[in-house]
Amino acid sequence: HEAPASALGDDRAVNLPSRAYTVEDMVASVKRVDEKYQIKHGPITTKPDPVIQAIVDGWATDASWDRAKALGLPIDESIDRVVEDYIEDFLPSRH
């Protein structure tokens, strides 16, 4: 996305637009997309990993993306689209 420097000002940091999804939402989406593209995935485990949980616990729980919205940055249309984009980027032979 191109934005004029004048729209950013001195602060070039911008929180990207995002949506919040539950683990259940993510698992359901992976299953839907895998079925759509006939992809076999390995086992899905939802048991918390203490190392990853410690990382996630350090993340902000809320962030404003007003600047991104004002700049016209798009937001993901759906979790299925996020999963499909991941497949296109990291599993191109599977899409």
Q: pTM score, two decimals? A: 0.74
Q: Is the pLDDT of residue 19 over 60?
A: yes
Q: Give dist(CA 42, CA 57) in Å, integer.
A: 26
Does residue 5 fall inside a structural domain? Answer: no
79, 88, 67, 84: which is closest to 24 by C-alpha? 79
User: In the prediction, which pLDDT does 78 show?
Assistant: 95
Q: Is the pLDDT of residue 51 over 90?
A: yes
Q: How many domains is the chain built from?
A: 1
Domain of residue 72, residue span: 23-94
Does residue 1 fall inside a structural domain? Answer: no
Q: Is the pLDDT of residue 94 over 80?
A: no
Does residue 90 fall inside a structural domain? Answer: yes
Does residue 87 fall inside a structural domain? Answer: yes
